[in-house]
Chain A
Amino acid sequence: MHKLWQQKKKEAEAHKTNQRGSPARIRLQKELGELETTPDLEVVATDLMHFSLIYRPQEGHYHGGEFRFKFDISESYPHEAPKVLCKQTIFHPNIDPEGHICLNILREEWNPVLNIQAVIFGLQLLFLEPNKDDPLNKDAAEMMAKDRQEFIRTVRSSMRGRSIGGIHYSNVLVAPESSYGSY
């Protein structure tokens, strides 16, 4: 009798795990399964809640680089924004050497109607048009405002993995720079 009871309990347990995923997970399944990605983007995901994004800007100062981001999404999504960090040390007015990103929709302007796609667009925009008025890396922003040419040179040099101002930047180049033409 006791055995039978245990058996029933086990069956019930098995049934319980059979429940569908959490609302956050279902939403991510939908978002990722329908993500519009262009050839310059690659999403590397095995776990829907924790994945990487690789972005290779096709124009702008960061052209030729390959930038990696880590997305961490909690069960509170979409009430809470995804947590996104840049995994490399890069020279960028809106990204600090630790990888924190100053993007309004990742923090103060996050809203549950936004989604992963919107965050990816936001990141792309940051690389195409770095914003000197919202600096996270103050030195980079000041340089960008004062001397555009020096800023571009510093960006290119940091992308090759040089040390600038005591900070060792990651080499983010995907191919020899010459193949990217006129810089």
Chain B
Amino acid sequence: MSPTAAVEPTTTAALSSPQVPCIAGVDRYLKLRAAHVESFELADESGKTPQDLLDEAKILVIGAGGLGCEILKNLVMSGFKHIDVIDMDTIDISNLNRQFLFRKRDVGRPKAEVAAEFLRRRAPDVNITAHYKRIQDMSEEFYLGFTLIVCGLDSIDARRWINAFIYSLAEQHGFEGFKPIVDGGTEGFKGNVRVILPMQNACFECGLDLFSPKTTYPICTIANTPRLPEHCIEWASVLEWPRVFPDKKLDGDDPDHINWLVDQATARAAQFSISGITYSLTQGVVKNIIPAIASTNAIIAAVCTNEALKLVTSCNPYLDNYMFYSGDDGVYSHTFPYAQNESCMVCGHKRKSMAVAPDMALEELIELLKEDPSLQLKSPSLTVDSTNLYFQRPKALEERTRPNLEKKIGDLFASGSTLTVTDPVLPTSLQVTVVFA
């Protein structure tokens, strides 16, 4: 992970060294860019040219898989100089058909590290730092250090997490915490890119309904009337596995587990004269794998990189804010501003701060909240840091949290805590920061 201080700093010169192949391409590209983007020489009010901004920008790429490899390569080729890449995964042999920064010898090694090594070899003047970590394991300071975040993730959970996290950074740190996210996603021949400007436009969670839930089959079909090989595989994974191994969690990446399912599903398929059970189908059903298409990844990653370049340098207007691509039947793409969802659980909430005495009872605090004419709360339920303070319903939870009503708030939470308040009149939640006066 050593930086490349010893290397000649100018891009063309560094890339022209004889050890590095593919120079001609980069050189030609840089010349082309100079010819076409004259505005790259013009300084903005801060005295920085787009080129300066590009040189200074620190980009975090989340995910070094199908999209990530493309995005990383594109960022490097576009002239970004400081790139961090984070991925918790290791390379699997099935990745090699499209994740072109990896070779057979790399199988089993961390994706982030191998991708960074590859790019350092090809572009020694670019600072690339790899993090073989989960995004949840990195500190707030880590995320605060970037100009912009580009996501090439396949997991909706991870995208929801980073979206909520980056949103809270912007909320807590103001401009310092404002990190635009360029989020790319692909599924087979379809893909989308969105530019998320925290607290300014629709966030990832606003459009959560757009994602169709994972394909599942009626449990009665699985249990009694299987017609497809998938039904037999689900029978083995949903019904048989927990029955036979009640204490063992099914791991879709463990070949022993998948082989066991294949055996069970094959036996069941034979009973019902169904054919087509294979190892890869079984793993696909268990892990809900949708085959990745390299060209979709390439198109979506190109759009992501383009947006990153525009956001960082202001050389052109950026995407507002959602771009959809479909290669299912011909080539179709559409761009539109996705509206903020007022009942979004991440960005739809209201905010309020209060300065109150620590010896105030929780009940009094709730009364104070209800008296606020701008809120018109009816029956608020309160939590802090996932601890239940008071719930209006259901009955058992109300009874359990009722003793808190008499307690002093200073004994329930610390000064500066943010309470999550929900109420039937609020589309989502109210975030109340309570400071003890």
Contact = CB atoms under 8 A, between A and B. Distances in A.
Nearest to A41: B394
A40 interface: no
B426 to A, nearest CB: 8
B216 interface: yes
Contacts of A14: 414
Contacts of A94: 220
A29 B420 contact: yes
Given A19-B168, A23-B205, A138-B224, A107 B397 contact: no
A108 interface: yes
Nearest to B392: A33
Contacts of A25: 383, 386
Interface in B222-265: 223-224, 239, 243
Contacts, number: 145
Nearest to B431: A20
Nearest to B223: A136
A135 interface: yes
Interface in A20-41: 20-27, 29-30, 32-35, 37
A104 B164 CA distance: 30
A80 B212 CA distance: 10
Contacts of B414: 14
A35 B393 CA distance: 7
A33 B421 CA distance: 10
Contacts of A129: none
B56 to A, nearest CB: 25
Interface in B351-406: 379-381, 383, 385-386, 388, 391-397, 400
A29 B381 contact: yes
B217 interface: yes
Size range of the chain A interface in the assembly? 35 or more
Interface centre among A29, A45, A100, A110 (most CB of B within 10 A): A29
A112 B394 contact: no
Interface centre among B157, B216, B394 (most CB of A within 10 A): B394
A76 B157 contact: yes
Interface string B192-226: 00000000000001001101011011111001100
Interface in A66-123: 75-76, 78-81, 94, 96, 98, 100-102, 104, 106-108, 110-113
Contacts of A43: 394-397
Contact of B218 (A26, A80, A98, A108): A108
B160 interface: yes
Question: Shortest 10 CB-CB distances between A and B: which pairs?
Answer: A33-B381, A43-B394, A23-B345, A30-B422, A102-B220, A107-B216, A136-B220, A134-B220, A44-B396, A102-B219
Interface of A: 12, 14-27, 29-30, 32-35, 37, 42-46, 48, 75-76, 78-81, 94, 96, 98, 100-102, 104, 106-108, 110-113, 134-136, 138
20 contacts: A18-B416, A19-B168, A23-B160, A29-B381, A29-B391, A32-B393, A34-B379, A34-B393, A37-B393, A43-B396, A44-B396, A78-B208, A79-B208, A79-B211, A79-B213, A80-B213, A96-B223, A102-B218, A107-B219, A110-B213
Given A17-B385, A32-B394, A100-B223, 18 more contacts: A18-B385, A20-B168, A20-B429, A21-B385, A27-B345, A29-B391, A32-B381, A32-B391, A32-B397, A37-B393, A45-B394, A45-B396, A45-B397, A94-B220, A96-B223, A102-B220, A107-B217, A110-B213
